[in-house]
A and B are shown apart, each in its own frame.
Chain A
Amino acid sequence: MTQPLVDVVGLETHFPVRKGLLRRAVGAVRAVDGVSFSIGRGRTLGLVGESGCGKTTVGRSILRLVEPTRGTVRFDGRDVLATGGAELRGLRRQMQVVFQDPYGSLNPRMKVRAILEEGLVIHRLGNAGERLERMTRALARTGLTAAALDRYPHEFSGGQRQRIAIARAIVIEPDFLVLDEPISALDVSIQAQVVNLLVELREQLGLTYLFISHDLSIVEYVSDDVAVMYLGRIVEQAPAARLYAEPLHPYTLALFSAVPSVEPGRRRRRIVLTGDVPSPARPPAGCRFHPRCPLAEQVCRQTEPPATVIDGHAVHCHVAARELDLAGGVAAVAAARMAALMTAAAVPAPPPTA
């Protein structure tokens, strides 16, 4: 296997909780608490989970927009966390980010020309003529014309602003993009346009994506591999088609089943989890999902489940690990798991309305 473009091992990012007159750190919010994954060149990893699970912090830690506490991040073989100064700047030319909110992420006082040119200037790319050419090309790739250069962000709609944000990310010709909820703030009819654009750019430019989203069906559509996060950890990771067909972790199952669907046949089987996500400042002992898990056993309350990996499908769950051991096949366990969860936590489908 070739070397992955992005390789993350044991990443931890903790934010101190400060209290009192001296602002002493009295604890830590363990936003990311031991996350490992790798992304091959040209591939897309989807990162899903609910708010507060740490998925955004993972993206920012890789780019060092926040400083990780522990772990290693390698980009193209180079240690991102150990570099600084000019070397870090060089790495950042290859790694760009697109944020959720195209209203907040574009400076309203800057014309699009200044927004796009900033990166080129910082990285000393080209002279004035070449910069204009690059900017025009980046805009064209995102479906905008050079006329946009002399306008301000407020003159554009939400979908167009997100195109500008994408143009800003690709204008310096990076290899890797962190896409942090890139379509969540857009109207439904605009979302598909932006998703198609991202897929096209990936093909044309050979880009590698970390696609962070809570929209499970978009993630399935865009990604090669998908990792599910819960409370600072990845609980399950697999090739997209496998994960969606045969989810093994009870949280993944509950998450998938909670998504409202317009498909009549998919509306029946819903697992409703009780309770809320605990605070990442005080994660539960053992498996972090155990207080909400309908299948939790004694061992789940005490010991952290290690990864069980079968054919590239990794799951952190004691119960799944034992069943995989006994039954052997992922498909059999996935089916049994669904059945067990349905009896343990299912709500009956609402009676058909007359």
Chain B
Amino acid sequence: MTVPLLEINNLVTTFHTPAGRVPAVDGVSLSIERGKTLGLVGESGCGKSVTAMSILGLVAAPGVIEAGEILLRDASGGVLNLVTLPEPQLREVRGGRIGMIFQEPMTSLNPVFTIGDQIAEAVLLHRDVSRAEARSRALEMLELVRMADPKRRLDEYPHQLSGGMRQRVVIAMALACEPDLIIADEPTTALDVTIQAQILDLLADLRHRLGTAILLITHDLGVVAETCDDVAVMYAGRIVEQAPADELFAQPRHPYTIGLLAARPERSGPALAGAAAGSRGAGRLRTIPGMVPAPQHFPAGCRFHPRCAFARLPECSAAMPALRELEPEHLVRCSYADALGAPRRMEGAEEIA
């Protein structure tokens, strides 16, 4: 195994609110290799976005990184710990070595500057180039993200573009300084499905051509399945399962991951027993009972145990299970995962195995 580009060790990010201490990210460890895509999946409030903000040093008060390290390596072996890095150097990393793409392109773009100026600004901040060079770099970037009619777009304003085109501009800005890593937080969630397909296609293509690593944060398991090499599933501030994408979708081992996948109609198949195929609302979808706990009220023991269909062992409610390697590269935080028996192969997995 090669040395990872980004390595997060035991990250703890806490928000000190009047209502008490809120452990949004509670001991997360992750690593991303050069040129790879890691999907970070979870529901709202699981801590996936706070993890991204911690990497970028953008956690706002009352949030603080209380423990852990975030190591960013360069090609020559140098290592930066982003947690302790002073703000001026951190500013060079942001937008320089790490690019960012957020969910809503309109909030990342300044409405009173042209597209060309905004991309050029990103270049001027991080590179010692003239204005003219920065502008030609901006044009080059718009061509790279396959923007239709790029010359004309340089002088247009964000409101003149559609949502999909705006997200292309944000991607162009993120890539302008040839970052090693792009953090994309729900990059296609605000887009329609046919436009989402265009953007995912573009990201996959750029990754192959430029070798940029991507941390893709999303709640959409389908998006992860189509774009990521590896997946980490977060629940209540912790990673509960991590594996190569093909492995995770073929053999989910954590009850939460199993539940998420089975809750979709296309996966609920076996639960729809007794109903004729194709009849509407036949059978019931499999559900995960209850709701995602708020960080102030994380349950003791395994944080998923009150909603877990398998939680029977006394240790489920007693102590937080460790993240264990069940199979090579497949980590699961569940005391019950062995007792779940032989790998629970999902339907269709045989064909690709």
CB distance from A289 to the nearest CB of B (A): 11
Contact A258 B246 (CB under 8 A): no
- Please report the C-alpha to C-alpha distance between residue A189 and residue B287 in the assembled complex, in whole angstroms: 7
**CB contact list, B228-264 vs A, under 8 A:** 229, 245-246, 249-250, 259-261, 263-264
Contact A260 B223 (CB under 8 A): yes
- Please report the C-alpha to C-alpha distance between residue A217 and residue B226 in the assembled complex, in whole angstroms: 17
Nearest A residue (CB) for B190 = A51
Contact A264 B201 (CB under 8 A): no
With A214-B193, A259-B222, A260-B223 known to touch, is A191 a contact of B351 (CB < 8 Å)?
no
- Please report the C-alpha to C-alpha distance between residue A44 and residue B43 in the assembled complex, in whole angstroms: 29
B-contact bits for A198-215, CB 8 A (1 contact / 0 none): 010011000000000010
- Please report the C-alpha to C-alpha distance between residue A15 and residue B211 in the assembled complex, in whole angstroms: 47
- Please report the C-alpha to C-alpha distance between residue A203 and residue B279 in the assembled complex, in whole angstroms: 13
CB distance from A125 to the nearest CB of B (A): 28
| Residues in A whose Cβ lies below 8 Å from that of B261 | 262
At the interface, yes or no: B286 with Cβ under 8 Å from chain A?
yes
- Please report the C-alpha to C-alpha distance between residue A32 and residue B139 in the assembled complex, in whole angstroms: 38
- Please report the C-alpha to C-alpha distance between residue A277 and residue B200 in the assembled complex, in whole angstroms: 18
Could you say which of A159, A195, A261, A347 contacts B201, with CB atoms under 8 Å apart?
A347
Could you say which of A191, A261, A265, A275 contacts B222, with CB atoms under 8 Å apart?
A261
- Tell which of A84-92, A103-111, A220-228 binds the partner: A220-228
Contact B225 A195 (CB under 8 A): no
Contact B259 A267 (CB under 8 A): no
With A241-B278, A276-B195 known to touch, is A260 a contact of B164 (CB < 8 Å)?
no
Instruction: From A44, A51, A258, A262, name the one whose CB has the most chain B CB atoms within 10 angstroms.
Output: A262
At the interface, yes or no: A311 with Cβ under 8 Å from chain B?
no
**CB contact list, B189-241 vs A, under 8 A:** 192-198, 200-201, 204, 208, 219-223, 225-226, 229
| Residues in A whose Cβ lies below 8 Å from that of B165 | 276
CB distance from B343 to the nearest CB of A (A): 16
Contact A214 B192 (CB under 8 A): yes
Nearest A residue (CB) for B263 = A192
Give the total number of A-B pairs whose CB atoms are below 8 A apart.
140
At the interface, yes or no: B73 with Cβ under 8 Å from chain A?
no
Nearest B residue (CB) for A224 = B280
At the interface, yes or no: B84 with Cβ under 8 Å from chain A?
no
- Please report the C-alpha to C-alpha distance between residue A307 and residue B246 in the assembled complex, in whole angstroms: 42
| Residues in B whose Cβ lies below 8 Å from that of A264 | 225, 246, 249-250, 348-349, 351-352
Q: Number of contact residues on B: which range applies?
A: 35 or more
Contact A267 B265 (CB under 8 A): no
At the interface, yes or no: B162 with Cβ under 8 Å from chain A?
yes
B-contact bits for A217-253, CB 8 A (1 contact / 0 none): 1101111100000000000000011000000000000
CB distance from B314 to the nearest CB of A (A): 25
At the interface, yes or no: B327 with Cβ under 8 Å from chain A?
no
| Residues in A whose Cβ lies below 8 Å from that of B249 | 262, 264
At the interface, yes or no: B292 with Cβ under 8 Å from chain A?
yes
With A187-B43, A272-B198, A350-B204 known to touch, is A258 a contact of B280 (CB < 8 Å)?
no
Could you say which of B43, B44, B281 contacts A222, with CB atoms under 8 Å apart?
B281
- Please report the C-alpha to C-alpha distance between residue A50 and residue B352 in the assembled complex, in whole angstroms: 32
**CB contact list, A43-58 vs B, under 8 A:** 44, 50-51
- Please report the C-alpha to C-alpha distance between residue A187 and residue B220 in the assembled complex, in whole angstroms: 10
- Please report the C-alpha to C-alpha distance between residue A353 and residue B227 in the assembled complex, in whole angstroms: 10
Could you say which of B197, B245, B292 contacts A189, with CB atoms under 8 Å apart?
B292
At the interface, yes or no: A26 with Cβ under 8 Å from chain B?
no
Could you say which of A189, A221, A261 contacts B225, with CB atoms under 8 Å apart?
A261
Contact A188 B260 (CB under 8 A): yes
At the interface, yes or no: A190 with Cβ under 8 Å from chain B?
yes
Contact A196 B280 (CB under 8 A): no
- Please report the C-alpha to C-alpha distance between residue A15 and residue B246 in the assembled complex, in whole angstroms: 48
At the interface, yes or no: A314 with Cβ under 8 Å from chain B?
no
At the interface, yes or no: B267 with Cβ under 8 Å from chain A?
yes
Contact A255 B194 (CB under 8 A): yes
Nearest A residue (CB) for B195 = A276
At the interface, yes or no: B284 with Cβ under 8 Å from chain A?
yes
Instruction: From B164, B222, B349, name the one whose CB has the most chain A CB atoms within 10 angstroms.
Output: B222
Nearest A residue (CB) for B193 = A258
- Please report the C-alpha to C-alpha distance between residue A264 and residue B289 in the assembled complex, in whole angstroms: 27
CB distance from B212 to the nearest CB of A (A): 15
Nearest B residue (CB) for A196 = B284
| Residues in B whose Cβ lies below 8 Å from that of A221 | 265, 280-281, 285
- Please report the C-alpha to C-alpha distance between residue A222 and residue B192 in the assembled complex, in whole angstroms: 21
- Please report the C-alpha to C-alpha distance between residue A121 and residue B351 in the assembled complex, in whole angstroms: 59
Nearest B residue (CB) for A221 = B265
At the interface, yes or no: B87 with Cβ under 8 Å from chain A?
no
Contact B219 A187 (CB under 8 A): yes
Contact B226 A260 (CB under 8 A): yes
Nearest B residue (CB) for A245 = B278
At the interface, yes or no: A270 with Cβ under 8 Å from chain B?
yes
Nearest B residue (CB) for A191 = B263
Contact B288 A262 (CB under 8 A): no
| Residues in A whose Cβ lies below 8 Å from that of B288 | 189, 192-193
Could you say which of B196, B267, B268, B291 contacts A190, with CB atoms under 8 Å apart?
B291
| Residues in B whose Cβ lies below 8 Å from that of A222 | 280-281
B-contact bits for A252-284, CB 8 A (1 contact / 0 none): 001101111111110100101111110000000
- Please report the C-alpha to C-alpha distance between residue A52 and residue B272 in the assembled complex, in whole angstroms: 34
- Please report the C-alpha to C-alpha distance between residue A196 and residue B349 in the assembled complex, in whole angstroms: 27
| Residues in B whose Cβ lies below 8 Å from that of A190 | 291-292
At the interface, yes or no: A145 with Cβ under 8 Å from chain B?
no
CB distance from B251 to the nearest CB of A (A): 12
| Residues in A whose Cβ lies below 8 Å from that of B289 | 193
B-contact bits for A132-166, CB 8 A (1 contact / 0 none): 00000000000000000000000001011000000
List 4 A-B pairs, minimum CB-CB distance, nearest first: A260-B222, A241-B278, A221-B265, A258-B197
Q: Please list 7 pairs of residues, one from A and one from B, whose beta carbons are closer than 8 Å in the complex, sorted by A's number.
A: A160-B291, A189-B263, A259-B193, A259-B222, A273-B197, A276-B164, A350-B208
Interface residues, chain A, with chain B CB atoms under 8 Å away: 44, 50-51, 157, 159-160, 187-193, 195-196, 199, 202-203, 214, 216-218, 220-224, 240-241, 254-255, 257-265, 267, 270, 272-277, 347, 350-351, 353
Q: Can you add 15 more A-B contacts, CB < 8 Å, to A188-B43, A353-B229?
A: A157-B292, A159-B291, A187-B219, A192-B264, A192-B268, A192-B287, A218-B265, A221-B280, A241-B278, A261-B226, A262-B221, A263-B266, A264-B249, A272-B198, A276-B195
